[in-house]
Every structure is written in C-alpha cells, then in structure tokens.
Amino acid sequence: MGIDVDATDDADTTDPADRTGEVTLVFSLGAARRLADPEAAAADAREWSRHVGVVANDADAVERFVGEAGIENDYALRNWDKWGTLGDIYEESDAPRAVFVGTSAANRRVATHVGFEYRPIDEAAEKAGWDLSDPERASSESGLVSRLWRSVTERLG
C-alpha cells in the first residue's frame, strides 16, 4: 500500500508531489458515491489537499468507481481492508492533517482508530460547497444485487 507520488506531470495540482495543501483527504466509497459530481469534488479538493482519494474494503469496486467517475486516486489500492489501507496512508502521508470522509459509525471508528479526523459526508460537503446526490440512489448502486448485476453484464459484454 502506498501513496502514489511517482507521477511526473507538470508542476501543478495534478501531481501530488507538487501540492502543498495541509490535508490528506480520503473518501469512503459510500461517501464518494453520495457526491453529485465526484470528479468536480475531487478536483476542488486537490486545490487545498496534498493527497485525495477513495478507499473501501473492495479495491475492485473502488477502481471501477474512480474509473467511471473520472477521479485520479492518489492511493495505490491492494486487496486490503479499510483499516489497513487508512493505516498505511496515515503513516506515509506528509500532510499535517489527515481527514477521512465517510457515511457511518463504522467509518468513524476506523478513522479515529488509525489517527484520521472523521467528517460525515453531509458536513464535509456543506463546508466544501459540494452537492450531494440522493442517498437512496447512492445506496442502491452499491448493494450486493447491483454489484452482481454489474459483474454479470460486464462479462456478457
């Protein structure tokens, strides 16, 4: 697990090594799905964050989501749970603050256990000026049946 700082883009906010923000910002997959425009929110966060990304227990689901949403994830994901992923990010980050944006009490427990500040998505979106989508839509897209349906339809072409 590691923060991907090997990119060699031009000196702008697209390369984490060039960012001088005070925050390492991590969204749970559920929180990222609640954003009405995840790509715009991530781009906005890059203006004031050193690292921005999405994590979950299911690395494949995160990869699909960031790919579909057009988000560049600063975190190299492996088949590791949220606890281990956040712990690794916390240890490797050089930003003064580490904030985990989530949707549940379980997310809060993970964040506080590994040293992150925790912010519920509603609070983070309000403070940052991000619009949220309907919570029903976000939860229905992440359910077991939805994941199975996507898997089957992807294999069938």
E-only strand ranges, the chain: 2-3, 23-28, 49-55, 75-76, 97-102, 117-120
Instruction: For strands 97-102 and 117-120, give the pairing.
Output: parallel
Q: What is the pLDDT of residues 36-95, one digit of tens each?
A: 999 999 999 999 999 999 999 998 999 999 999 999 999 887 767 888 899 999 999 989
How far apart are alpha carbons 81 and 44 in whole angstroms? 27
Angle at 65 between CA 62 and CA 68, to 5 degrees: 150
**Dihedrals phi, psi of 27, to nearest 5 degrees:** -100, 140
What confidence tier does 15 reach under pLDDT thresholds 50, 70, 90? low
Task: Tell which residue, 121, 122, 74, 73, has the closest CA to residue 111.
Answer: 121
How confident is the model over 132-142, as a mean pLDDT?
63
CA dihedral over 134, 154, 42, 121, signed as positive or negative: positive
pTM score: 0.76
Residue 24 pairs in a beta bridge with: 51, 98
Percent of the chain predicted with pLDDT > 90: 61
**pLDDT for the residue numbered 143:** 57
The owner of tokens 């712990």 is 87
**pLDDT for the residue numbered 125:** 97
How far apart are alpha carbons 114 and 1 in whole angstroms? 15
What's the topology of domain 19-156? Rossmann fold (3.40.50)
